[in-house]
């Protein structure tokens, strides 16, 4: 289907150009097509076919893309998981999806044999332990646009992860919408710092569809990323805001050639003003934000480079970097709790309608019905729009704290705390309270331990910036916030910490 059409097209048009690079080598589009052809034929010979679920447990390397393409070619369903995640979680997903096989880096994930999956294949070796098969000569299975392509699991920042079912049409819509709005230039090279088991992998496919070369750093860390940018003269970079923070610090402290960068694309979490300003000054390139959700097929809104404020200004009140405008083919509405459409500038739940929406949560019809109503995805994100359709986020609906009958939005408190020069990171959660129902707890990471602000200092700042009826949060300092590999704060863990303290 469409994913393999990307491969067919680029093999014909740019066969000898490099398609993928990782820390071990590179493959051209012609080589990638040949390897995918062999892999797909081997999968069919092993008895796999349309609709079979196949777990992917591997680090960021070329073979993961090969697996995505090969599974798509035979109509099988990829179920990517974090190879560094708990074994119990992988076993649970294997049972829940009734997986037929697992493709894993067996040199690292030796426990893949313990998942109870019938067929265990080594990502780097001849799949299934069989000798390399001759090129497949048969007819490929018929794969339709609405056939399932992948089960992408949510980040589980607020609870249990759910399996989001993408079909082939969903990925096509996301990639075409991004290309129409961002217009990746001919000859682009994207350094992908995002995990390949996450819905953010859609960004790499969008750039591959435009013929871009994808580079995977040898490790998910600032130094290897900067080395990859310099070595491959990368034009684009894709990462989360927390990674951007550390990357800018490393680039400022060392001598790195990043002059080839034209755009830094970021997403997965809001980008604090100070992180953006520091990164913009260090790299001197354009910035583009992607906002989305796994349930929406990935990204569905974009803040274009010209919509970012100048990093050279020093505003008295740091601006909020909005989520931008919907991509082509995407409708976004902000709705009140009763389902009616919110007025311009009024906060409500962000709802999305497009051909990129998920088919549902795997094996969870009730949860699917709650999220998908009348053709609209209810994201659980809060936000508002202005007269031009520009979207500004206001946090997660589940994160709203109700104290003495009033709603407190953690994102507002976090924004003010981050405006303090001595605050590097922060997250606000609610803790149960017998008198008020809930009270806010602010976890704060100082820039340095020596220059740590006092709780009274931060409380005065909040009192000056926020409505007086909001109770001041209890300030607790941490060395770092717990985050998943996609850079999102694990507020479930912070809530547990808040209850225990």
Domains of the chain: 1-143 (3.40.50.980), 326-396 (2.30.38.10), 400-500 (3.30.300.30)
Enumerate residues 6+ apart whose C-beta is below 8 A from 349: 334, 335, 337, 378, 379, 380, 381, 382, 397
Q: To 5 degrees, how large is the angle CA 284–CA 23–CA 166?
A: 80
pLDDT at 247: 95
**CB-based contact 173:2 (threshold 8 Å):** no
d(CA 356, CA 372): 13
Q: Where are the alpha helices (DSSP H) in 320-386?
A: 365-371
pLDDT at 117: 94
The Cα-based distances of 263 to 117, 215, 254, 478 in angstroms read 42, 15, 20, 33
Instruction: Check residue 397 and report its DSSP letter.
Output: G
d(CA 91, CA 89): 5
Enumerate residues 6+ apart whose C-beta is below 8 A from 343: none
d(CA 50, CA 47): 10
Q: Where are the alpha helices (DSSP H) in 254-337?
A: 273-283
pLDDT at 314: 65
| Tokens coding 157 | 């920042």
Per-residue pLDDT of the chain (501 residues; tens, 9 = 90+): 789 999 999 999 999 999 999 999 999 999 999 999 989 998 998 899 999 999 999 889 999 999 999 999 999 999 999 888 888 889 999 999 999 999 998 887 888 888 999 999 988 776 644 555 566 778 899 999 999 999 999 865 445 678 999 999 999 999 999 999 998 777 899 999 999 998 999 999 999 999 999 999 988 889 999 999 999 999 999 999 889 989 999 998 878 899 999 999 999 878 888 889 999 999 999 999 999 999 999 999 999 999 998 888 766 666 778 899 999 999 999 998 888 999 998 989 999 999 999 999 999 999 999 999 999 999 988 899 998 889 998 877 777 777 756 677 787 788 888 888 888 888 888 887 766 667 888 899 888 888 889 888 888 888 877 765 566 788 889 988 888 776 778 888 888 887 776
Radius of gyration (C-alpha) of the chain in whole angstroms: 23
pLDDT in tens, 454-481: 888 888 888 877 765 566 788 889 988 8
pTM for the model stands at 0.85
H/E segment holding residue 191: strand 189-192
pLDDT at 425: 86
pLDDT at 396: 74
pLDDT in tens, 113-130: 889 999 999 887 766 445
Length of the chain in terms of residues written = 501
pLDDT at 158: 47
pLDDT at 128: 45
């Amino acid at each position: 289907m469409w994913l393999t059409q990307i491969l067919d097209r680029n093999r014909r048009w740019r066969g000898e150009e490099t398609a993928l690079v990782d820390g071990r080598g590179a493959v051209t589009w012609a080589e990638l097509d040949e390897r995918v052809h062999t892999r797909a034929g081997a999968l069919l010979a092993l008895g796999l076919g349309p609709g079979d679920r196949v777990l992917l447990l591997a680090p960021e390397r070329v073979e993961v893309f090969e697996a995505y393409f090969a599974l798509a070619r035979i109509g099988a369903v990829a179920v990517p998981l974090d190879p560094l995640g708990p074994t119990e979680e992988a076993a649970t997903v294997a049972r829940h999806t009734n997986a037929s096989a697992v493709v894993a880096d067996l040199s690292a994930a030796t426990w893949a044999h313990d998942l109870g999956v019938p067929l265990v294949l080594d990502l780097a070796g001849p799949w299934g332990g069989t000798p390399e098969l001759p090129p497949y000569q048969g007819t490929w299975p018929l794969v339709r646009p609405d056939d399932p392509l992948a089960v992408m699991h949510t980040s589980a920042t607020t609870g249990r992860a759910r399996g989001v079912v993408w079909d082939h049409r969903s990925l096509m819509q996301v990639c075409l919408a991004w290309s129409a709005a961002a217009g990746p230039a001919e000859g682009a090279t994207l350094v992908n710092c995002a995990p390949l088991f996450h819905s953010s992998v859609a960004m790499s496919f969008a750039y591959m569809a435009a013929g871009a070369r994808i580079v995977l750093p040898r490790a998910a860390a600032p130094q290897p990323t900067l080395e990859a940018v310099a070595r491959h003269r990368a034009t684009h970079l894709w990462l989360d805001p927390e990674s951007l923070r550390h990357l800018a610090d490393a680039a400022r402290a060392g001598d790195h050639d990043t002059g080839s960068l034209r755009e830094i694309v970021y997403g997965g979490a809001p980008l604090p003003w100070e992180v953006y300003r520091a990164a913009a000054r260090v790299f001197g390139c354009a910035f583009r934000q992607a906002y989305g959700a796994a349930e929406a097929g990935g990204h569905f809104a974009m803040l274009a480079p010209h919509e970012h404020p100048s990093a050279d200004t020093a505003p008295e009140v740091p601006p909020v970097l909005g989520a931008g405008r919907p991509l082509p083919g995407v409708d976004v509405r902000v709705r009140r709790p009763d389902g009616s459409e919110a007025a311009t500038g009024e906060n409500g739940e962000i709802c999305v309608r497009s051909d990129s929406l998920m088919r549902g949560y795997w094996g969870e019809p009730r949860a699917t019905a709650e999220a998908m109503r009348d053709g609209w995805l209810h994201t659980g994100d809060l936000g508002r729009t202005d007269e031009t359709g520009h979207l500004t986020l206001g946090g997660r609906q589940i994160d709203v704290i109700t104290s003495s009958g009033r709603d407190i939005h953690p994102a507002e408190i976090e924004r003010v705390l981050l405006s303090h020069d001595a605050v590097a990171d922060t997250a606000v959660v609610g803790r149960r309270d017998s008198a008020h129902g809930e009270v806010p707890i602010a976890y704060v990471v100082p820039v340095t331990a020596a220059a740590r602000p006092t709780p009274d200092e931060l409380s005065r700042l909040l009192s000056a910036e926020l409505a007086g009826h909001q109770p001041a949060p209890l300030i607790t300092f941490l060395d770092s916030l717990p985050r998943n590999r996609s850079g999102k704060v694990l507020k479930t863990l912070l809530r547990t910490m808040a209850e225990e303290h």
